[in-house]
Amino acid sequence: MSRLTIVAVGALALVSPAAAQQEPQMLRAVRDLPGDLVRDIAAGAEVSQFDPQRFPDLREFNARRVIQVKCGSVREEYWSELQRINNISLTLDESLGDRAYTIRWPACLYLEQDVEAVVQPNESAFKIYERLLGDKPSKAMVIDFFGADSLDQIKSVQPGDKLPVKRRSRISTILPVNPFLGRKLTMMTERAGHFSDPQLRAVQAAVASVRQPEMVIAAGYTASTGTIEEPLECADAMAPTDLTRQRVASAYRYARERLADLQSSRVPVEVMIVDNGFLGGAKTFAGFMANPGFPGKHYARYTGGEIGPTLFNGTVPPWIAAPEPFHAVAGHGTHVAMLALGGPDFLPKVSELTADDTNTFLRLSFINVGNGKDVLLPNSSGELRDQLAYSNFRVVNMSIEYQDDADATVREDFRYIFTNRANANKLFIVAAGNDAKVANDRFPAAFGGEGKSNVIAVGAVRQDGVVAQFSNWGPTVDFAAPGCGVESIINHRYERLKLSGTSQAAPQVSFVAAMLHTLGGMTPSEIKTRLLVSGSLLANPKAADPTGGRKPTAVRSRSQLDAERAFYLFDDVLELADGRRYLGTIKEVNKLTCKIDEAPVPQAKEALWAFKRDASQAWVFPGRSSASFQTPCAWEESPDASVIFEATRQITENGPKPLGPDEEALIHKPLGEVFYVVARHR
């Protein structure tokens, strides 16, 4: 798990007209931009070109998508200037190919039109406006922004509500090369304070004043001594058994069969690992070569043998050289990468499950933001913002953390990453952090929870099913996964090491998320919901346990990863208290009631994602009728509550098998005799 304290950037101020053509201006649009301003910036500011090493996926884009990422929307004035500057005739929707790297892309101010805002906790309409536009509004501006008739219409918004808004902007850096443009921008920003309806706002960068960004490699890691001490609560951690791995493989294999029955086909998926580099291979004269133990077919192939985009104009490649003497810090990204492929003991089975002749449906790429160290590279959040927007990855694993004293640009970078339309098809799996604190002020984990359907913040769970004491927690932490004594490959010599932390928990979720994506190309929201509703209940810590631990309510879903159950997404699942497990169809759920604000609320079968119970707790997971995940509510226990389930197969240690001739298909049980009822997802 990586930690950033603050990003070091120099202070930038508005410049005088005489120097405007030499100094950049940091600006943010707060109103609709007139066409002449769009044209003047495109014609009079420094243009840019893309480096094929840094942006290898860009050749698959069309001009419309590039402009939307760069400018927020396509303006006719910008498009005309682009064609004039390049002296080309191009359509917006044709694939760019290698032209993506020869086109000179004009500058622009970023402004998205007609977008949707998700209300954050403790956020008013005025705060939403300021977050999206960076400007303090008047009452009239807020009413106009939301298209409301009065302020009363938007006073009652709740966290998680989705509101249509007129625009969203982010900071753009403009370098005028035309003196006229420099004078115009300076005049507009100087005059903005004298008008109630400004178009632009000048922004100053934060000034670095504290220590270098730090990366916490694992729970128990001490940077000053370079040692890793296993947490006491992880002393009894055990690896998954062969039986567990067999059950997971059988569930995925069965899902593939059901996919074929539904006349659908598997979808390839590429997982991006954002970490401190990769030791599983190296670049040679012949291209990228995988080290022993890391099957080359599971790594993405780019031009020149790359396995991921390079940063900072190609100076920071995805892979790193192994230091001597070797230390676990340098192998953090490698450790994480192997877990994203299912772990060293499960990888041979994964290769079999995902292969199609000589191909595989699961590939990894890497973005190196730490270069083998326990600190993050300066401006790494800004680099990620650009890299991810101009890429086609479907699952992104981020085992990094920026602290609450990071400057405002870091927060904006991650907000852009998770909300930009270019990233709408990406699912981000982020580690919650190892600080034993609420994750609300840790980035990117602060963007998990109810507000983002494409972000899963992952905490760490112990062997006994209790959330680890070292794990961050809170309403933005969606889920948990094993984070104690997790074994994986650490270096180029295929050596193994057990590490504990949310960095180890997150890639296990990324692996299952990627495998789910191959089963017909689920959306990020669908995968997130499936993982959360199919997970096993977290356990309550025992009062006499000296190592502590946290209650299940420390995690939003009260659940931890259950890969086997997640893969049974084409059938309803019933698990009885006596250990029997079935696939089939939920026919009826009778007299199921939730306790919400201490009041009983009946729950219909059509709205039920899952019912989960163990010896000490029971939770109802509603929201299926709206196709989204909702925070579970406690079960209002009743002896009359029951489920009627029509079974088609029984789940055995060797996978699902059809019911025998003497086995009863229709099962009617009180919910007091049921551990899990999970509805199918598709």
Range list of β-strands (E), 15-133: 25-29, 111-118
How high is the pLDDT of residue 358? Answer: 66
The secondary structure of residue 239, as a DSSP letter, is P
Same domain as 113, residue 229: no
Same domain as 165, residue 41: yes
* Assigned domain for 303 exists: yes
Summarised one tens digit per residue, pLDDT across range 106-151 is 999 999 988 888 787 778 888 888 888 888 888 888 888 888 888 8
How high is the pLDDT of residue 136? Answer: 83
Which residue, 622, 631, 637, 630, is CA-closest to 674? 637
Confidence of residue 212 (pLDDT cuts 50, 70, 90): low
* Assigned domain for 579 exists: yes
Same domain as 40, residue 178: yes
Return d(Cα 663, Cα 560) in angstroms, integer. Answer: 32
Same domain as 247, residue 101: no
What's the domain count of the chain? 3
Same domain as 134, residue 250: no
Residue 210 has pLDDT above 60, yes or no: no
Return d(Cα 654, Cα 18) in angstroms, integer. Answer: 77
How high is the pLDDT of residue 406? Answer: 56
The secondary structure of residue 255, as a DSSP letter, is H
Contacts of 610 (CB under 8 A, 6+ apart): 533, 534, 620, 621, 676, 677, 678, 679
With H, G, I as helix, E, B as strand and everything else as coil, classify residue 59.
helix
Same domain as 197, residue 83: yes
The average pLDDT across 386-399 equals 93
How high is the pLDDT of residue 401? Answer: 83
Task: Pull the structure tokens for residue 98.
Answer: 């290698």
How high is the pLDDT of residue 211? Answer: 46
Q: Which carries the bigger pLDDT value, residue 2 or residue 472?
A: 472
Residue tagged active-site, from 40, 169, 172, 275:
275
How high is the pLDDT of residue 5? Answer: 25
Range list of β-strands (E), 229-383: 269-275, 281-284, 287-290, 355-356, 359-360, 362-368
Summarised one tens digit per residue, pLDDT across range 339-371 is 999 999 999 899 889 887 667 899 999 999 999
The average pLDDT across 485-514 equals 95
The average pLDDT across 384-409 equals 83
Confidence of residue 15 (pLDDT cuts 50, 70, 90): very low
Residue that finishes a domain, picked among 472, 498, 530: 530
| Residue 356 annotated to the active site | no
Which residue, 602, 608, 597, is CA-closest to 674? 608
Residue 374 has pLDDT above 80, yes or no: yes
* Assigned domain for 429 exists: yes
Residue that finishes a domain, picked among 148, 172, 202: 202
Same domain as 430, residue 359: yes
Same domain as 50, residue 142: yes
With H, G, I as helix, E, B as strand and everything else as coil, classify residue 113.
strand
% of the chain surpassing 90 pLDDT: 52
The average pLDDT across 177-193 equals 79
Residue 420 has pLDDT above 90, yes or no: no
The average pLDDT across 428-442 equals 92
How high is the pLDDT of residue 171? Answer: 83
Contacts of 626 (CB under 8 A, 6+ apart): none
How high is the pLDDT of residue 7? Answer: 25
Same domain as 501, residue 473: yes
Which residue, 279, 273, 529, is CA-closest to 388? 273
* Assigned domain for 600 exists: yes
Return d(Cα 446, Cα 406) in angstroms, integer. Answer: 13
Same domain as 239, residue 153: no
The secondary structure of residue 536, as a DSSP letter, is E
Residue that finishes a domain, picked among 170, 202, 234: 202
Range of the domain at 604: 572-678
The average pLDDT across 427-449 equals 92
How high is the pLDDT of residue 190? Answer: 63
Task: Pull the structure tokens for residue 68.
Answer: 């939307």
Contacts of 320 (CB under 8 A, 6+ apart): 276, 277, 278, 279, 330, 368, 371, 372
537 contacts 366 by C-beta, under 8 angstroms? no
How high is the pLDDT of residue 548? Answer: 84
DSSP assignment of 117-144, as one string?
A: EEPPTT--HHHHHHHHHSSPPPHHHHHH
Residue 4 has pLDDT above 80, yes or no: no
Summarised one tens digit per residue, pLDDT across range 461-498 is 999 999 999 999 999 999 999 999 999 999 988 999 99
The average pLDDT across 663-682 equals 94
Return d(Cα 382, Cα 151) in angstroms, integer. Answer: 36
Task: Tell me the CATH number at 348.
Answer: 3.40.50.200
Same domain as 488, residue 429: yes
Q: Which carries the bigger pLDDT value, residue 284 or residue 444?
A: 444
Confidence of residue 18 (pLDDT cuts 50, 70, 90): very low
* Assigned domain for 541 exists: no
Same domain as 253, residue 400: yes
DSSP assignment of 437-506, as one string?
A: SBGGGSBTGGG-GGG-TTEEEEEEE-TTSPBPTTS-BBTT--EEEE-SSEEEE-STT--EEEE-SHHHHH
How high is the pLDDT of residue 142? Answer: 87
% of the chain surpassing 70 pLDDT: 92
Summarised one tens digit per residue, pLDDT across range 557-604 is 999 999 999 999 999 999 999 999 999 999 999 999 998 777 778 888
Compute CA distances 612 → 332, 512, 617, 619, whole Å.
35, 21, 8, 5
* Assigned domain for 632 exists: yes
How high is the pLDDT of residue 238? Answer: 86
Residue tagged active-site, from 169, 471, 488, 503:
503
| Residue 275 annotated to the active site | yes
Confidence of residue 54 (pLDDT cuts 50, 70, 90): confident
* Assigned domain for 5 exists: no
The average pLDDT across 4-25 equals 38
Q: Which carries the bigger pLDDT value, residue 209 or residue 230?
A: 230
Residue tagged active-site, from 327, 332, 335, 681:
332
Return d(Cα 79, Cα 539) in angstroms, integer. Answer: 57
* Assigned domain for 212 exists: no
How high is the pLDDT of residue 335? Answer: 96
| Residue 335 annotated to the active site | no
